[in-house]
Structure 1
Amino acid sequence: MSPLTRNMLRDIKKSKGRFIAIILIIMLGVLIFVGVKAAGPSLNDSLDKTVSDKNLSDIQMLSTTGFSETDLKLAREVPGAQVEATKFKYVIGGKSKVAVALYGYDESSKQNQLIMRSGRLPENNNEVVLDKNAKSKYGYKLGQKFRFANDSGLNQKSYKIVGFADSPQYIDNQSRGSTNIADGQVQLFAYIPENQLNMSVATMLDVHFDSLKDKNTFSKSYKNAVDKKLTLLKKKFANRQYQRTTEVVADYLTQFDQQQIQLNQLQIVDPQAASQQQVKLNAARVKVLKKAKTSYTWQTRNDLPGFSAYGESSDRIAAIANVFPVFFFLIAALITFTTITRMVEEARSEIGTFKAFGYTKWEISKNYYYYAISAGVIGAVLGALIGNESLPRIVLALYKQYIALDWVVSLQWWVILIALIFSLLATLGAAIIVIRKELVEGPAALMRPKSPKSAKKILLERIKPLWNRLSFNSKVSYRNLFRFKSRMFMTIIGIAGGTALILTGFGIQNSIGASGNRQYGEIFDYQAVVKLNDDANFSKVKQVLTNDKQYQSSTAINSTTAKLKANGQQVNDVNIYTPKSINKFDKFVHLDTSLNQNGVILSKKTAQLLDIKKGDKLDVTTTGGKKVTVKVKAITENFIGHFLYLSPKVYQQKFGETAKSNTLLLHMKSQTSSQRKHLANKLLDSGEVMGTSYTHDVLSTVSKMSSSLKPIILIFVLLSGILSFVVLYNLTNINVSERIRELSTIKVLGFYNNEVTMYIVRENIILTIFGIIVGYGVGNLLTAYILNQAATELVIFPLTISWFGYLVATLLMIIFTAIVMLVTHKKLQHIDMIGALKSNE
């Protein structure tokens, strides 16, 4: 072993703390960079494997009049389509009379296979498999009876529970979709033998394509492929709804014709009775013919309850991963660069000695390169392995609101490669730059200590009234701060970076939660929406509402949906609200500008997507097919969804008719879950209402969206805290080692231990305060950038950081400074003053 190598190993042994600190900083940086980058893909891959194994349908098609064998043959004409017909309906069931998504179970079915959690699948006609939530939320047990409502259209009313299951169609444990019965929210799904549903035809077509099975369900290639298949399927059924309506009507007319023959016979015997029955028959005929119109609903996996929310959640993690870990890693790399630079500068005399002995530049420098490479590689490899294997698994384990997934955690090789390159740039790059700079000088110059920086007047000294009031020690501290500007800036960057990262962690969660709270607190000031039937009796609905103790007031509006076009862009599913009374409406919906008689107001996110400004025009196409062009008077703040507000006058002018009220917005007192359910059922029983939805359910969904990020945020805060502590400790060590002779001198001059410690710590306290203040600003900017990246087409996340986030970030920095102060105090008590003063430096 050469003297150079032995000397390097001796240096590593002598300064183990610094070598370990470099490894730790690199490891932490790589760990969070690789780990968070791997979390999003792992979430997507895990769910993809689960739905792939259970053959989740790629497309589902629902019909109001059901599907005949002709429909199945038509769907199978799409290349590669595997088609299965399913009997499906929404019914009311259970002790709590909740909305249930009821499916007919067919053991030959290969799609949408259940994931049994306990018990077994149905084998007999009197058996039912229930959603596992029936067990956890409602206390049902195997062997008990589950009763459906009398009007459910089943062969029997109660069924024996033989199993509890999860379904790939319902991946979110807390979301089962919405319906127009009960309180508008589906609470459970259930499977009974299909022959138990009194339905002559299936109401759902499940379509699966084996060619798409190898594509990740969240990938763009899968979505594009599904869209193409869906387009082909829609083309096949383009004219089918009219044919199907004719078939259904013909069946009904045949039944009515048989009854008409009997009535004609009765007319001879009892004309009065026949006349009464004729009126009833005619009314039944009209009612049936109205309902017999065929309409189709199409949905892909993304339309299933919780599916898009899951995808958006992983997208948000990916958006965070594109910013947060990179910022984290840059801080780690910057501090590492400083540490390596200081290490090489400390070895000036040794480099000069070896150069004087005749060693070449390469021989001298290569050991420092090996030192830097070994620290960088060890840190990067440890960080990559720990991060890639731990963080995604922690996130998956904590995603408890979703069904248990088959974990898939793959090594993110390209991310690991990027992390390794940056690690070597921070370590090896620093060593190359500094050593090349040092080796330019001659041996004699290198063996002499660097000339100390000359003192200069600092800005504070020029403010005489303030400077003269400072103590001697304070003046020394301030002069030292500005004398060593690079050290000052590095410490501020380290503290500010840690503060900003912790603040950003809290900010992301607070802001996601704030989108719902501000939408349904500041903008929408109502607690429920009641969708009315055509020709609904308002007085009958009002009677039900006034009988409810929680009801306060309501306002009527016309509510419809449309697609908007402008500047070559299009936004679908935009809610159009036209109030009956603008004055009343203002009390329920708070817009930035009052909706006057000429008003058309567009929500902010919609305007951004369409590139619309105040005064611009846009094209509106309603779901009913009507097309109009309107001028935007104002743009209003909005956080969830797309909205266009029209005054009654504008609606009349554009659509050529008066806006017919079809929706009520309700002001309600605080309601319990059972009270909400009771009112919704009462309104449905009135026969005037299609369904009731509550803002409580929307807020609950947004709250789940926010809480789903808690695992990631907790990890961010924890690792940011550790990084901040290591950075502060490392920079303080560098500070002490650089000024060891200075500290020894003041100790020899009679300074007490506490005074020597404060000589250093006073500077740390000042820099910590500055760093925390700068961190507040950087944290807000970083949070705002991440939120902008994480925003979806439907949701804007307003920048919101609670006082608790500021408090935690501040307290952690203060605690870290205090711990470092104590460690430094112990270290300074054992300074070898004579050895330090005798050294060259």
Structure 2
Amino acid sequence: MKPLTKNMMRSINKAKGRFIAIILIIMLGVLIFVGVKATGPSLNDSLNKTVADKNLSDVQVLSTTGFGKKDIQLAEKVAGAKAETTKFKYVMGGKSKVAIALYGYDKNAKQNQLIIRNGRLPKNDHEIVLDKNARNKYDYKIGDTFKFSKSADLKQRSYKIVGFVDSPQYIDNQSRGVTNIADGQVSLFAYIPKSQMNLSTATLLNIHFNSLKDKNTFSSSYKDAVDKKVKALKREFKSRPQQRTKEVAGSYLATLNQQQTALDQLKAVNSTAAAVQQQKLDAAKKKIMKQSKTTYTWQTRQDLTGFSAYGESSDRIAAIANVFPVFFFLIAALITFTTITRMVEEARGEIGTFKALGYSKWAIARNYIYYALSAGLIGAVLGAVIGTETLPRIVLSMYKQYIALDWVIGSTWQTLLIALIFSLLATVGAAVIVVRRELDEGPASLMLPKSPKSAKKILLERIKPLWNHLSFNRKVSYRNLFRFKSRMFMTIIGIAGGTALILTGFGIQNSITASGNLQYKNIFSYQAVVKMNEDANYSKVDKILNQDKTYQNDTKINSTTAKLKAGEKQVNDVNVYTPQSVKNFKKYVHLTANLDKNKVILTKKTAKLLNVQKGDQIHVTMTNGKKLNLKVGAITENYVGHFLYLSPQIYQDKIGTLKPNTLLLGLKKQTSAQRKHLANQLLDSKEVMGTSYTHDVFDTVSKMSSLLRPIILILILLSGILSFVVLYNLTNINVSERIRELSTIKVLGFYNNEVTMYVVRENIILTIVGIIIGYGVGNLLTAYILNQAATEQVIFPLTIHWFGYIVATLLMIIFTAIVMLVTHRKLKHIDMIGALKSNE
């Protein structure tokens, strides 16, 4: 082995701690950068593989009057479309009479294939397969009998359970969607042979495009492609509703037309009797046309239960990945740069000796570069492998809310390349810069110790009354702090960065939870929304409510949805609330301004998306097609959804007579059973379309927080480890730089504790300063990430609870204490004579 190489190996062996620390810091930086960057895409890729393998429909169409072969042919006129029809409806059944999404099973169907978890698929008319939640939540077993309510209108009411399944249409295990029966929440999905459903035609049209199979479901390119396909499909189906209405009404109208002919003959004989019969006949025709009217509901994958939430969750992780790991990595790189710089500076004498012996600059520089390169590469490779193979898997394994996915794990080469470049810049870059600077000096200069910095008065010294009251040790500590500014700034950056990263982890978690709390506790004070039928009997509903123990009060409003536009900006599905009584409405919805007679109130996120402010005009298109131009009177706080609030006067002036169609209910705290009972009673009254509870919406928002919890905990843990390694490494550098100084004061008679405090006192001061700065940086970093993570429907208010501050502060104090103990042990066994030997 060459002398230079031997010397380098001895240097590594002599200071193993520093070499390992460099590897660890780089490894942690790369691990978090690569791991978190890989997590969002891994979530998306895993779901994409599952839905692609099971041929999930790209587009689904629901019809009020059903579909036939003609509809399949129309759909397949669009390039690449493959269409299938399915019998589908919402029914009630099971032990608890819950709402069930019931499908007719067809063994020849190619789309939306079921994933068997236990048992098998139906083979005869008496068998059923159930959602796996029926086993997990309701304790059903294979071989049990599942009974439907009479209102389900099936060939038979009881079926034998032969299997439990997952469906690519229902990826969220905790939510199966909403309906207008039972308590408004679908509890299960189920499949029985299609022949068992008393439906004359299929009610659901599934359309799949093979050309879109390889696209990421959540990518903009997929969404744009699907939008184009939906537009093409709608063009093909443009005249189909009228045709279908005539087809359905045809046979009934033929009979009624015969009656009309007979009635026309009766008019000549008995005009009075004919007039009465004519009224009945007109009413019958009107009823048939109403029942036969065909309307289509178009939906894409994004409208399926859980899909948007899943995509938004992975987007939030991607937003975190664009900021948190980068900040993390920059701190790691900065500290590594400092460590390598110090390592090369310590070897001045060796560099001078080799230069005097005739070694070339490259030969001398090469070994230090190899040292840095080996540490950087080992750290980068370990971080990349561990990050890619662990973080995404940990997060995926904790996504128990969603169906078991076919895992697809991997990092992009761009991410790995960026991580490698940063790692080598922090290690090799530092070595190149410092070695080149040192090699510019002559051998004689290099073999002499580096001249110490000249002493200068610090600001504190100029404040005589304060300075004169400080002890000698404190004066030395304060002087050293400001004398070695680079060391001071590095320590503060390390502590502040660690504190900020830990605080950000808690802040993301707290802020996402806060959006639901603020919306459904501070802004909305109602607990349920009851959607009434047209011409509903309110007194009948009031009677049911007054008999319920949990009912407190209610207010009537008109509720509808609208599309809002301002300039080129547009927001769809905005909830439009108009109270019957503004005074009562204030008790249920707390707005930041009063409803004005001439102006409307718009929620903050909606205004931001439309780029409008108070006083601006917005164009509103109601669901019934009516178009309005309204002036924004105020912008109110809101965290979930889009809302537009109108005063009764504006509604009457711009739209027409105000007719309430919704009740906002104030309820006492309810159990799940109480919620279901009240919803069922209201539905059974035939006056109510459905009841939705804010508790369920709050749960949905809360899930956002729970989904991020695993990755937040990992980020907090790794931030803590990085902070500890950084503090330990900087303290080691501090001690090694000042070994002669510390040996001198030890020789002068300082006790071990005093020598330790000589160094640690500076650490304590810098730790306190770093923590305080970390609070500010943590808030800024959290706010930035939340802004990136906000969705179109939900915004997250910056919220960091006191617990986050306490944990971040305690961790930094604990790390400082541990480092202080390690430093104390090291200083107790310092070789004073060796350190004080001078080569001058």
User: Which piece of structure 1 moves more, 248-257 or 791-800?
Assistant: 248-257
8 Å CA contact 1:582, 1:596 repeated in 2:
no
Q: What do the CA deviations read for 1:712-742 (whole angstroms, capped 9, x no partner)?
A: 0011011111101100000000000001011
Residue pair 2:507, 2:782 contacting (<8 A) in 1 also: yes
RMSD: 2.1
- Residue aligning to 2:538: 538
Q: Which region of structure 1 is more displaced relative to structure 2, 356-365 or 255-264?
A: 255-264
One-letter identity of the residue aligned with 1:641: G
Structure 2 match to 1:791: 790
Q: Is the 8 A contact 2:618 2:631 kept in 1?
A: yes
Is 2:127 the partner of 1:132? no
The aligned counterpart of 1:557 is 557
Q: Describe the shift of the 1:679–1:396 C-alpha distance in structure 2 as closer, same or farther (beyond 3 A).
A: same
Shift of 1:227: 1.2
Identity value in percent: 76
- SS of equivalent to 2:531: strand
The alpha-carbon deviation at position 21 of structure 1 amounts to 0.7
Q: Please show how residues 501-580 of structure 1 align to structure 2 within 5 Å.
A: 501-580=501-580
Equivalent in the alignment of 1:460: 460
Alpha carbons of structure 1 residues 263 and 369: separation in structure 2 relative to 1, 3 Å = same
User: Do residues 594 (structure 1) and 608 (structure 2) align?
Assistant: no
- Between the aligned partners of 1:251 and 1:717, the Cα distance in structure 2 is 69
- What CA deviation, in whole Å up to 9, does each residue of 1:649-678 have, x standing for no partner? 1122222x1221111111111011111111
Counterpart code for 2:762:
E
SS of 1:632 mapped into structure 2: strand
- Counterpart CA distance in 1 for 2:145 and 2:285 is 38
Q: Which residue pairs with 1:241 in the alignment?
A: 241
| Letter paired with 2:525 | D
State the 1:455 CA deviation: 2.1
CA deviations on 1:228-278 (whole Å, 9 max, x unpaired) are: 1111101111111111111112233346578999999999xxxx9999999
Q: 3-state SS of the aligned residue for 1:633?
A: strand
Which deviations, in whole Å up to 9, do the C-alpha atoms of 1:155-204 show, x marking residues without a partner?
A: 11111111111000000100101111111111100000001100000000
* Distance in structure 1 (CA, Å) of the matches to 2:239 and 2:786: 45
Question: How far apart are 1:816 and its partner, in Å?
Answer: 0.8
Q: Is the 8 A contact 1:648 1:658 kept in 2?
A: no
Equivalence for 1:649: 649
**Whole-Å Cα distance in 2 between the matches of residues 139 and 281 of structure 1?**
52
Q: Provide the C-alpha distance between the structure 2 equivalents of 1:432 and 1:46, rounded to a whole number of angstroms.
A: 43
The offset of 1:9, in angstroms, is: 1.3
Gapped regions of structure 1 (runs ≥ 5)? none
* Counterpart mapping for 1:434-473 below 5 A: 434-473=434-473
The equivalent residue for 1:769 is 768
C-alpha separation between the residues in 2 aligned to 1:716 and 1:76? Answer: 49
- The residue aligned with 1:203 is 203
Alpha-carbon distance in 2 for matches of 1:251, 1:668: 49
Is the counterpart of residue 720 in structure 1 residue 719 in structure 2? Answer: yes
SS at match of 1:430: helix
* 2-structure distance, mates of 1:468, 1:651: 76
Look up the match of 2:348.
Answer: 348
Amino acid at match of 1:711: P
Whether contact under 8 Å (1:524, 1:589) holds in the other structure is: yes
The question of whether the paired residues in 2 share the 8 Å contact of 1:388 and 1:412 is answered with: no
The worse-fitting range, judged by mean Cα deviation, of 75-84 and 328-337 is 75-84
* AA partner of residue 117 (structure 2): R
Q: Name the counterpart of 1:365.
A: 365
Tell me the residue number matched to 1:746.
745
What's the CA shift for 1:555?
0.9
Distance 1:411 1:596 in 2: 54
User: Separation in 1 of the partners of 2:644 and 2:275?
Assistant: 51
1:597 Cα offset (Å): 2.2
CA contact (8 A) 2:34 2:411 kept: no
Give the direction of change, closer, same or farther, for the CA distance of 1:771–1:280 in structure 2 (3 Å limit): same
Residue in 2 that maps onto 1:678: 677
Deviation at 1:280, TM superposition (A): 8.2
Q: Distance in 2 between matches of 1:397 and 1:258?
A: 67
Moved more, 645-654 or 52-61: 645-654
CA distance in 1, matches of 2:479, 2:838: 25
Determine the structure 2 residue equivalent to 1:621.
621
Compute the displacement of 1:153 (Å). Answer: 1.3
Counterpart residue identity of residue 624, structure 2: G
The corresponding residue for 2:483 is: 483
* Contact 1:115/1:167 (8 A) holds in 2: yes
Which runs of structure 2 are paired with 1:114-153 in the superposition (5 Å)?
A: 114-153=114-153
1:144 positional shift: 1.0
How far has the Cα of 1:491 moved from its partner? 0.5
Q: Distance in 2 between matches of 1:620 and 1:276?
A: 44
Letter in structure 2 aligned against 1:536: A
For residues 139 and 752 of structure 1, the distance between their equivalents in structure 2, rounded to whole angstroms, comes to 71
1:157 equivalent in alignment to 2:157: yes
2:6 is matched with which residue? 6
Shift of 1:99: 0.6
* TM-score, reference length from structure 1: 0.97
| 2:48 alignment counterpart | 48
Paired amino acid for 1:780: N
Provide the C-alpha distance between the structure 2 equivalents of 1:829 and 1:373, rounded to a whole number of angstroms: 34
Structure 2: stretches of 5+ with no match in the other structure: none
Aligned to 1:69: 69
Letter in 2 for 1:33: F
Cα offset, 1:283, TM superposition: 6.0
Is the contact between residue 599 and residue 630 of structure 2 (CA under 8 Å) also seen in structure 1? no
1:128 alignment partner AA: I
Distance 2:440 2:44 in 1: 53
Q: Which residue of 1 aligns with 2:662?
A: 663
- The corresponding residue for 2:330 is 330
- The reply to whether residue 103 of structure 1 matches residue 103 of structure 2 is yes
- CA distances 1:754-800 after superposition (whole Å, capped 9, x unpaired): 11111111111111111111111100000000000111111111111
Is 1:191 aligned to residue 196 of structure 2? no
Q: Specify the SS of the correspondent of 1:709.
A: helix
Deviations 1:562-593 (A, max 9, x none): 11111211111111111111111111111111
- Does the 8 Å CA contact 2:143/2:161 hold for their aligned counterparts? yes
Is 2:84 aligned against 1:84? Answer: yes
Once structures 1 and 2 are overlaid, which stretch shifts more, 460-469 or 609-618? 460-469
Distance 1:568 1:247 in 2: 41
Q: Tell me which amino acid in the other structure corresponds to 1:422.
A: F
- After TM superposition, the structure 1 = structure 2 runs for residues 277-296 of structure 1, keeping only pairs within 5 Å, are 286-296=286-296
Aligned to 1:818: 817
Structure-2 change in CA distance of 1:412 and 1:188 (3 Å): same
Q: C-alpha distance in 1, partners of 2:266/2:173? A: 58
TM-score for the superposition, normalised by structure 2: 0.97
CA distance in 2, matches of 1:155, 1:66: 19
Residue of structure 2 in register with 1:423 after alignment: 423
SS at match of 2:64: strand
Q: Report whether the alignment pairs 1:782 with 2:778.
A: no
Distance in structure 1 (CA, Å) of the matches to 2:374 and 2:255: 87
Amino acid at match of 2:575: N
How many residues align structurally? 836
Q: CA deviation at 1:467?
A: 2.6
Partner deviation per Cα, 1:405-436 (whole Å, 9 max, x = no partner) = 00111232110111000111101111111112
Q: Retained in 2: the 8 A contact 1:64–1:294?
A: yes
Deviations 1:625-672 (A, max 9, x none): 1111111111111111111111111122222x1221111111111011
Distance 2:161 2:252 in 1: 37
Aligned to 2:138, the other structure's residue is in SS state coil
Pair 1:370–1:110, CA change in 2 (3 A): same
2:19 — aligned with what? 19
Q: Distance in 2 between matches of 1:675 and 1:265?
A: 59
SS at match of 1:601: strand
Residue 38 of structure 2 is matched in structure 1 by: 38
Moved more, 194-203 or 534-543: 534-543
SS in structure 1 at match of 2:183: coil
Letter in 2 for 1:698: V
* AA matched with 1:706: S
User: Match of 2:789, as an amino acid?
Assistant: A
Kindly report structure 1 stretches of 4+ aligned residues shifted beyond 3 Å. 254-267, 272-289
Separation of aligned partners in 1, 2:552 and 2:460: 64
